[in-house]
Amino acid sequence: MKTLTGAEIVIECLKEQGVDTVFGYPGGTILNIYDALYKHQDEITHILTSHEQGAAHAADGYARATGKVGVCLATSGPGATNLVTGIATAFMDSVPMVAITCNVAVGLLGRDSFQEIDIAGVTMPITKYNFIVKDISKLADTIRRAFKIAQTGRPGPVLIDITKDVTASTCDYEEKEPEPIIRQEDTILEEDLEQALQLIRKSQKPYIFVGGGAVIANASEELASFAHKIQAPVADSLMGKGAFDGTDELYTGMVGMHGTKTSNFGITECDLLIVVGARFSDRVTGNASRFARNAKILHFDVDPAEINKNVKAYASVIGDVKSILRKLNARLDPINHEEWVAHIDRMKDMYPMRYEKSILTGPYIIEKIYEVTKGDAIITTEVGQHQMWAAQYYQYKKPRSFITSGGLGTMGYGLGASLGAKMGCKDKTVINVAGDGCFRMNLNEIATATRYNIPVIQVVLNNHVLGMVRQWQTLFYGKRYSHTVLNDQVDFVKIAEGMGAKAYRVTGKEEFEEVLKEAIALNVPVVIDCQIHCDDKVFPMVSPGAPIEDAFDEEDLKI
């Protein structure tokens, strides 16, 4: 046992939890922690981002890429509130993250002191749990508890707000081993498993729908065994990308608003929809009352609150989905559904993904990224058309290779997330795909990349408009392009070069592959500004509120 300041206890607890990288921005109330961090810089790498929001997104990207807890730091007041969007992003997508903020001293709380904000109150709806520490004797155990909560069951962000006097006070500290994170199996009931087995054995046309919970649970091997054992086609949500190999013969693509016609039509026709760790977002279901209307829905999820929340389930099993699948696989004999799979294969042939091949387009760029990286990169994205193209045209073979803001849809997320992903997976090529509207929001993090020479590649699909919003305006708002045109004087190449990055502008198909290969070989921060047409659209598409079987594409619009 030794006597340490509160700031030193914070650092020791981070080391206890195996934290090797943190992202943040210093300020007055958190100075004691930064002073302690300075003394331990050989043990914990700190990445100074350009903005606290970038720190939160970087911690989030680190967590998604590695499966470990991401950590971000910020000072009180505006420093803390600048984390809010990043915390909310992590909350919506169930990302294990610990945000550590500091506040004014206990005696100044509630007095409108300089840079004082009730950040615990502000973040209560968007954290799994949060704490304010006013007593140094409770500090170490609070940090340990925060890390456990962030990782247990359905993961999520936890905020710890520490008053400045606690960081300066001293207290006895004794190192402890982190408590093991145990998979949630006590809620997996025998009767639920039996009902699931009966439904699976009786089904003639099963379909598997995979969400982000399968990625979080590291259930890919069990999922692959399950799908092939029962010979069922597999679709995924945006968050489920990579949980099931995108090159597997049973894979049919994403489901929902921009899902493949095969997935949307197949799920509508199936008699049993087996849902693995998904929450039935409105972007997946379309008209929820007509979603999978011919099927009994069998839902596997760790969070009981998700069962029957958006779509009524016929049966469910609550618990860790890796454990659920393992138990089912042990009891299932192989089941033959060749006729059903052949029918789905015919749909794949009838409804291929297609785009204009003669010019530089978003789909072409994503396909070329897949070809050059051989499907072995980590792809992060912002939010919009480019995000959907990245989901549609890159074949994700492994989990944690597609990192995007699914639930909150946070523009400005991807660049910070790419920095975190690269810090967590230094041996991987990391590429952030952005639209020009999203890139503007947090492009200052290019300066972070160059400060530390974090060799991420930023690909901007630059159509000089807010592409997805414009697409909706074209299809549903009579082509009234209200404040979605960005055709101004901003030069992303000059901006990137001004921040110390290598930058290219690409205007034709023949240039992109060469530039991408050079960018990967350089191993420095690179921005590639790709000029594409303002009216390129994401297809297939389902109109808001329509059932998913009403998916249409450009060919349908010509009829």
Q: Tell me which residue of 404, 391, 471, 478 sits closest to 438, measured CA to CA.
A: 404
Tell how strand 170-173 and strand 2-5 pair up. Answer: antiparallel
Q: Tell me which residue of 25, 141, 129 sits closest to 82, measured CA to CA.
A: 25
In three-state form (DSSP H/G/I as H, E/B as E, the rest C), the secondary structure along 195-213 is HHHHHHHHCCCEEEEECHH
Per-residue burial over 343-377, b if 16 or more Cβ lie within 10 Å, else e, is ebeebbeebebebeeeebbbbbbbbbbbebbebeb
Specify whether 164 is catalytic: yes
Specify whether 300 is catalytic: no
Q: Which residues, 6+ apart, have CB-to-CB distance to 411 below 8 Å? A: 382, 383, 384, 437, 438, 441
Specify whether 179 is catalytic: no
Which of 114, 185, 476, 494 is labelled catalytic?
114
Which of 52, 116, 222, 306 is labelled catalytic?
52
Task: Calculate the alpha carbon distances from 463 to 8, 299, 362, 484 in Å.
Answer: 49, 40, 10, 11
Whether the CB-CB separation of 36 and 8 falls below 8 Å is answered with yes
Whether the CB-CB separation of 464 and 487 falls below 8 Å is answered with yes
Residues 243, 472: Cα–Cα separation, whole Å: 30
Whether the CB-CB separation of 187 and 154 falls below 8 Å is answered with no
Residues 39, 328: Cα–Cα separation, whole Å: 51
Supply the DSSP string of 241-293, one letter for each residue: TTSS-TTSTTEEEE-STT--HHHHHHHHH-SEEEEES----HHHHBSGGGTTT
Which of 423, 468, 499, 541 is labelled catalytic?
468
Amino acid of residue 83: L
Whether the CB-CB separation of 415 and 440 falls below 8 Å is answered with no
Using a 10 angstrom Cβ sphere, with 0-12 exposed, 13-18 middle and 19 or more buried, the burial of residue 16 is middle
Which of 17, 23, 91, 164 is labelled catalytic?
164
Which of 15, 16, 68, 115 is labelled catalytic?
115
Residues 105, 120: Cα–Cα separation, whole Å: 15
Specify whether 114 is catalytic: yes
What residues form DSSP beta bridges with 300?
Answer: 276, 317
Catalytic residue annotation? 52, 114-115, 164, 468
